[in-house]
Amino acid sequence: MLRTMNRTLMTVWFALDTTIFVPSNAKNTVSFHSPLKSYIDARMGEFDQIPVDRRAELADFAKRIQAGGHDGVRKLNFICTHNSRRSHLAQIWATVAAQHFGVDGIETFSGGTEATAMNSRIVDTLRRSGLSVSTNPGPAHTNPLYKVAYSDSDVAPAVECFSKVYDQSPNPSEDFIAVMVCSNADTHCPIVRGASDRIVIKYDDPKVSDDTVDESVIYDARCGQIAREMLYAFSLL
């Protein structure tokens, strides 16, 4: 009987121990598309590739997210010059990272200092990473609306992407964190109207590889870097 009691107590202890040390990524309640889940796991396995000084920048980013916002809502507006490449990648991967780690109250946006269009090469690299990207059929538009889906769950709506100026609807006009993801936008937009905070997380523009043999490799590398770093930042929350 004593042996049975000891076994019961040990089982309870392990259950309590597991509860105490549940990793933060276990909070996720969203079912990701299978290829995307594999992509996320691969990027999280690369956290050691992030340089120490970059980890410090991302840790500061995480602290700003944690401190910002009102009523539990934190709005992140990723800004580059044309809102065509890096800002979309950052918005999408920040959304995925927040869902993966179960971080509530995160709203993501992207914009530019001017509007152009979400580049088709970004659509291609997103699809290669396991995301589902669709757009409305019909006549070609110079600035189409894309819907980027990462789950079939009703609680995980697709990210709607099109190029816009950073304060253009549906982007927030106040109480948001402006995340500058390119040097040009950082230089030419030192003051972001309506932002409650401003932080610089720069990425090299994959545009340099357009129409070269390395185009897909460069775009996939930039997509992977941004995914890895957004996942790392949100893992700290």
Domains and CATH numbers, the chain: 28-235 (3.40.50.2300)
Per-residue pLDDT of the chain (237 residues; tens, 9 = 90+): 434 444 333 333 323 332 222 334 446 668 998 999 999 999 999 999 999 999 999 999 999 999 977 788 999 999 999 999 999 999 999 999 999 999 999 999 999 999 999 999 999 999 999 999 999 766 668 999 999 999 988 778 999 999 999 999 999 999 999 999 987 776 766 778 999 999 999 999 999 999 999 999 999 999 999 999 999 999 999
| Alpha carbon distance, N-terminus to C-terminus of the chain | 45
How far apart CA 143 and CA 145 sit, in angstroms, is 7
Identify the H or E element spanning 161.
strand 159-161
Cα–chain-centroid distance for residue 132? 15
How far apart CA 37 and CA 190 sit, in angstroms, is 37
The DSSP letter of residue 157 is P
How far apart CA 201 and CA 163 sit, in angstroms, is 20
**Any residues with CB less than 8 A from the CB of 145 and at least 6 apart, and which?**
135, 136, 160, 161, 162
| Strand order from edge to edge, sheet including 159-161 | 132-135, 146-149, 159-161
Specify the length of the chain in residues: 237
Please give the full DSSP string across 54-95, using - where no structure is assigned: HHHHHHHHHHHHHH--BTTBEEEEEEESSSSSHHHHHHHHHH
Return the ∠ at Cα 44 (arms to 135 and 87), rounded to 5°.
40
